[in-house]
Amino acid sequence: MCVAGVHAIHIDMTNDELLKEVTVKAEKWLGDRYDEETRKEVKALLDAEDKTPLIEAFYKDLEFGTGGLRGIMGAGSNRMNIYTVGAATQGLANYLKDAFAELPQISVVVGHDVRNNSRKFAELTAEVFAANGIKVYLFDGPCPTPEVSYAIRKLGCQSGVMVTASHNPKEYNGYKAYWSDGAQMIAPHDVKTIEYVNAVTSVDQIKFDGDKSLIQIVGKDIDDQYLADIHKLSLCPELDKKHHDMKIVYTPIHGTGLRLIFDSLKLWGFDNVIHVPEQDVQSGDFPTVVSPNPENSEAMTLGIAKAKETGASLVLASDPDADRVGLVVRDKEGNYQLVNGNQICMLLIYYIITQNVEQKLMNGNEYVVKTIVTTEAVKRIADANNVRCFDCFTGFKWIADVMRNEEATGRYLGGGEESYGFLPETFVRDKDAISTNSLIAECAAWADEKGLNLYELLVDIYAQYGFSRERGVSVVRPGKSGAEEITAMMKNFRENPPKTLAGSPVTCIKDYLDLNCRNLKDGSVEKMNFPTTSNVLQFFTEAGDKVSVRPSGTEPKIKFYVEVREEMPDKSKYEEVVAASEKHIDAVLADLGVK
């Protein structure tokens, strides 16, 4: 995509050449095709003595990738602004008109989060779609990402857009594109959309003036249907009522979860849900946190303080677009402990399967889904209960792909990933903090009925299915040299894989770039069944450890996911085993050369 008529500039030129190219490109943004505010901002960049901000804003075009757009907001071809968003929408509209040419009326859903400029970008997106003759259902205010997925399916739309940068820092915004099944796009639609977006090379190609009659505002009507469908997921409604006064702290961390999660918990029967008032404030500045990410302990600090103040047994959270969850539970000493994404997935898969077994709901075609970097404990739980467990690539679009393929014959029980995303329903095709938080609360009520809290329930699950511990490490390598270093690291791991990790022989290597699974014990090679390839390596050891290595698709980093096994002879030894496993992980990372 290049809305200034100049294609992406490679950064490997001399500073003088780069500045000259960038200046020519930026000066095109001073023309009357651009609004006054944009022209003023670009003029300031051109006039500034320090040319670094100018170069960063224009040295390339903000790339429309397989998930859409994400970038820093501001003027420039490499920034999120009305022109880059307009070009993305025009390209998507062009593809939709070709892909669904037989339909008398194409329709889409447009939603947005609480970020600065999100409403502006959402309204612009709606108007560009409408200018192309496409019917738009535009949410009346900030809404959760999963509700957009829900609305696409409920309203029978062909596509949808969610304006969000998830839990990125406040300077960012983004644009997620969805297909007719409510999932983010995969091949061929992601590739075709990118082609159509890249074909928009001038602002003149963007239709900005939409037919307002094609834009319909939606809100409470969709909210009510969505909440009603989520409530149908309850597996123990009588226990929810019995434990209605269980103290639960919930924080939306300034985000869209405020719209529905309190209502959902109340509908499920929980009427003692405690607010964190400072974080109920919907703000794109995220004033109480450094990063609005429930994975980070810092973002949970105020929620934990409120739990200590009120004696609540658990803290629930969601990120700004309410697709990821956060969970803090109280241990046997009364201390509050963060539950990681692997444990959340494990806990909920265990709860859902156990309830289905106890209620005699199993019919033999059940399945669960996890990503390849998510804990193997999920598979152990599934296998022990004769439930199929599918592995897929990182990202919920791949979990949705499994759901699509199994729709006719299988019964989906749940799916999740280590990065704090879970989906317990089929009427949404992306991770969902509204349904997940509701289900966590019910699981806590169920545990309470057994005289346990969620911390103790986690220990019980480990005792029954085997202990494992996970840690993710990201090694950041910014810039062109960093990208080359990451490429070299992946090449070295392929050509010189570790022979042992933490003293245990590596017995299996899975390379998702060629889909070969190599058994190092007998030398056999087996082809893995995946819909495409991915730049991911996995090493498995005789001790049962798993290491996954992959470059990030959106950030200048290489990611290491380590999962180790340890024997836990008795539940009373849990804390000791946790400590031993942390040292075990340190040893694995040392063998990989990761600090």
Catalytic positions, written as ranges: 166
Integer Cα distance of 462 and 459 in angstroms = 5
Q: What is the 3-state secondary structure (H, E, C) of 529-567?
A: CCCCCCCCEEEEECCCCEEEEEECCCCCEEEEEEEEEEC
Structure-block tokens of residue 545: 């450890």
Read off φ and ψ for residue 256, nearest 5 degrees: -75, -10
> What is the helix (H) or strand (E) element at residue 39, kind and residue range?
helix 36-47
Q: How many CA atoms lie within 13 A of 429 on its CB side?
A: 27
User: Angle CA(345)–CA(351)–CA(356) in degrees, nearest 5?
Assistant: 125
Going from the C-alpha of 531 to that of each of 280, 323, 513, 538, the distances in angstroms are 41, 25, 12, 18
What's the rounded Cα separation, in Å, for the pair 424 and 355? 13
- Structure tokens that stand for 219 in this block: 């809100």
CA angle, residues 377, 381, 384, in degrees to nearest 5 = 135
Q: What's the one-letter identity of residue 378? A: V
Place of tokens 């829900």: 150
Angle at 379 between CA 343 and CA 372, to 5 degrees: 80
Q: How many CA atoms lie within 13 A of 38 on its CB side?
A: 22
Q: How far, in Å, CA of 573 to CA of 226, rounded?
A: 43
Neighbouring C-beta atoms of residue 238, cutoff 10 Å: 11
Dihedral angle over CA of 412, 399, 137, 433, nearest 10: 80
Using DSSP, state whether 517 is helix, strand or coil. strand
